[in-house]
């Protein structure tokens, strides 16, 4: 077994932040397996161009042959599994891809991880880790007076996305209990920060505001989410990977419960300060209430006491410091957003990698 790790979905929002942080922090070689769906963007990894500790492989986690080859060629000490269809609204419009990637893809990875582990000696098997990155959405929706989600909260997923993630969490659990695979599961709240695909709330609001377009808020804007700066999430994953107890799950959150309206107003205030537009007035004037998301969960809140007590992880950013960093990043990187919105980067991917998901950059 080598010191390298396989990361899946490492060209997406959280995965690319994780890979860059891992390599910046002196981490071992990363084999980055990503299908480059609409949400995957090799540009997120531009700072690693030419770095031989990062090996990008374009491929599908559902493709057993590719996954098998990666395990046998690179003999990693861990898998950190981000790859997923991640957008609730897309899962409502078309759930099939969510079942395929989130459930069947996770199953494929588990099967191949197990088969690889069986080739390892006992001490290597003991050292191997399969870290599954999941979401707080598997716990369902809270009322305003309910306690925050703990690791004991029963699963109650409400959208095709959260149901598919719940399915994958159960498979991971089963592979630990049945086969002894050394798994770890993290369930995290809403992330924000650099490289988030611009159809998710915060980057969407920033790009619409800068373009003078309406800022759509679903329903009455009183749905509550707990927000965590993506860099803090990535650090929590590293801590769980190194110190978490196999078979356990860890909730990760930012202690920042906010209504969607509060989030959008915070973005507007920061933009009013950092990119004022006196002729148009405050960006708040663009706020528009629109039709609600079907089955929209009312409130998520995370009790992150277990990871704090057992692994001494705490978020570094407050909502105020993290949101300022995020808005500053989007202002400084408008070309990144524009490239996605214009479709340019998709054309580049097709030229670079071809249009079939099995085509690989390197293997
Ligand atoms: P994202 O949509 O930005 O990125 C997903 C990545 O996975 C993309 O690069 C995509 O190309 C890749 N991918 C999709 N299907 C694939 C397949 N079949 N094979 C290989 N690669 C594939 O997602 P994100 O927001 O970075 O989320 C990453 C993980 O974290 C997901 O598992 C998600 O459920 C979980 N999560 C996200 C949040 C959040 O707020 N964004 C919070 C908690 C947990
Ligand atoms: O809780 C963790 C989850 O957070 C992750 O598992 C998901 O992968 C991630 O996408 C995110 O899910 P949400 O549905 O909470 O994120 P989204 O950015 O789509 O929406 C955040 C909230 O804002 C939600 O209550 C819906 C609302 N919203 C969203 C959009 C896109 C709006 O009011 N207007 C919008 O235009």
At 155, is the pLDDT very low, low, confident or very high (cuts 50, 70, 90)?
Answer: very high
Q: For ligand 1, atom 41, name the residue with the nearest CA.
A: 191
Instruction: State residue 22's pLDDT score.
Output: 98
Question: Which residue puts its alpha carbon closest to atom 29 of ligand 2?
Answer: 201
187/342: higher pLDDT: 187
17: Cβ below 6 Å to ligand 2?
no
| pLDDT for the residue 358 | 42
Higher pLDDT, 359 or 66: 66
DSSP conformation letters of 276-317: --TTT--GGGGEEEEPPPTT---B--B--HHHHHHH----S-
Tell which one of 16, 37, 164, 196 to mutate to probe ligand 1, the residue whose CB is within 8 A of the most ligand atoms. Answer: 37
Q: What is the pLDDT of the chain when averaged over all its residues?
A: 96
CB 162 within 8 A of CB 135: yes
User: What band does 355 get if pLDDT is binned at 50, 70 and 90?
Assistant: low
Lowest mean pLDDT among 157-166, 326-335, 354-363: 354-363
45, pLDDT greater than 60: yes
Question: Is the model's pLDDT at 327 over the cut of 50?
Answer: yes
**Catalytic residue numbers, as ranges:** 136-137, 161
Span 10-37, pLDDT tens digits: 999 999 999 999 999 999 999 999 999 9
Cβ atoms within 10 A of the Cβ of 243, count? 13
Contact 133, 71 (CB under 8 A): no
Mean pLDDT score, 237-258: 98
Specify which residues 133 forms β-bridges with.
Answer: 186
Phi, psi at 189, each rounded to 5°: -85, -170
Q: What is the pLDDT of residue 189?
A: 98
Q: Which of 191, 200, 264 to mutate to test the pocket of ligand 2 (most atoms within 8 A of CB)?
A: 200
Q: Provide the pLDDT for residue 359.
A: 40
**Ligand 2 atom 30, closest CA:** 201
Domains of the chain: 5-362 (3.40.50.720)
Residue linked to tokens 């149901």 = 163
- As a whole number of angstroms, the distance between CA 133 and CA 186 comes to 5
SS3 61: coil
272 Cα: distance to centroid of ligand 1 (angstroms): 31
pLDDT tens-place string over residues 82-133: 999 999 999 999 999 999 999 999 999 999 999 999 999 999 999 999 999 9
Q: What DSSP line would sit under 136-204, residue for residue?
A: GGGG----TTSPPB-TTSPP---SHHHHHHHHHHHHHHHHHHHH---EEEEEE-EEESTT--TTSHHHH
Query: What's the pLDDT score for residue 363?
Result: 43
Ligand 2 nearest atom to the CA of residue 205, by list position: 36
Please tell me the distance between residue 76's alpha carbon and the centre of ligand 1 in angstroms: 21
Neighbours of 286 (CB within 10 A): 19
Q: What's the confidence (pLDDT) of residue 362?
A: 45
In the block, tokens 């670079």 appear at 352
pLDDT-based confidence at residue 360 (cuts at 50, 70, 90):
very low
Ligand 1 centroid from CA 145, angstroms: 31
- Region 301-305: mean pLDDT is 98
Q: What mean pLDDT do residues 297-308 have?
A: 98
* pLDDT tens, position by position, 173-202: 999 999 999 999 999 999 999 999 999 999
Atom of ligand 1 nearest to the CA of 252: 43
Q: Going by CA atoms, what residue is nearest to atom 1 of ligand 1?
A: 12
| Amino acid 350: pLDDT | 79
CA geometry: angle 320, 250, 27, nearest 5 deg = 80
Query: Can you give the length of the chain in residues?
Result: 363
Q: Is 260 in the pocket of ligand 2 (CB under 6 A)?
A: yes
This prediction's pTM: 0.97
Ligand 1 atom with the shortest distance to the CA of 9: 7
Task: Give the Å distance between the CA of 13 and the centre of ligand 1.
Answer: 7
């Amino acid at each position: 077994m080598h010191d390298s790790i396989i990361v899946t979905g490492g060209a997406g929002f959280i995965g690319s932040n994780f890979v860059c942080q891992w390599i910046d922090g002196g981490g071992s070689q990363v084999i980055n397996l990503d299908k480059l769906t609409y949400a995957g963007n090799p540009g997120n990894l531009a700072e690693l161009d030419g770095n031989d500790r990062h090996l990008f492989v374009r491929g599908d986690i559902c493709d057993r042959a590719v996954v098998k080859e990666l395990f046998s060629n690179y003999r990693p000490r861990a898998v950190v599994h981000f790859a997923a269809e991640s957008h609730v609204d897309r899962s409502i419009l078309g759930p099939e891809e969510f079942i395929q990637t989130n459930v069947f893809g996770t199953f494929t990875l588990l099967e191949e991880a197990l088969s690889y582990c069986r080739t390892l000696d006992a001490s290597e098997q003991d050292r191997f880790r399969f870290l599954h990155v999941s979401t707080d959405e598997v716990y369902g929706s809270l009322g305003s007076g309910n306690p925050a989600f703990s690791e004991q909260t029963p699963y109650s997923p409400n959208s095709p996305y959260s149901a598919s993630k719940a399915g994958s969490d159960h498979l991971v659990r089963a592979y630990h209990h049945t086969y002894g695979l050394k798994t770890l599961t993290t369930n995290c709240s809403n992330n924000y920060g650099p490289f988030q695909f611009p159809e998710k709330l915060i980057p969407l609001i920033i790009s619409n505001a800068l373009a003078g377009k309406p800022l759509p808020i679903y329903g009455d804007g009183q749905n509550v989410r707990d927000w965590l700066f993506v860099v803090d999430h990535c650090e929590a994953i590293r801590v769980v990977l190194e110190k978490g107890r196999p078979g356990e799950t860890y909730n990760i959150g930012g202690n920042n419960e906010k209504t969607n309206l509060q989030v959008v107003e915070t973005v507007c205030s920061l933009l009013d300060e950092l990119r004022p537009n006196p002729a148009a007035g405050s960006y708040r004037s663009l706020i528009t209430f629109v039709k609600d998301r079907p089955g929209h969960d009312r409130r998520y809140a995370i009790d992150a006491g277990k990871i704090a007590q057992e692994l001494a992880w705490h978020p570094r950013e407050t909502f105020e410091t993290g949101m300022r960093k995020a808005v500053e990043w989007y202002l400084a990187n408008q070309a990144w957003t524009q490239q996605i919105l214009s479709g340019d980067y998709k054309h580049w991917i097709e030229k670079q990698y071809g249009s079939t998901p099995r085509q690989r950059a390197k293997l």
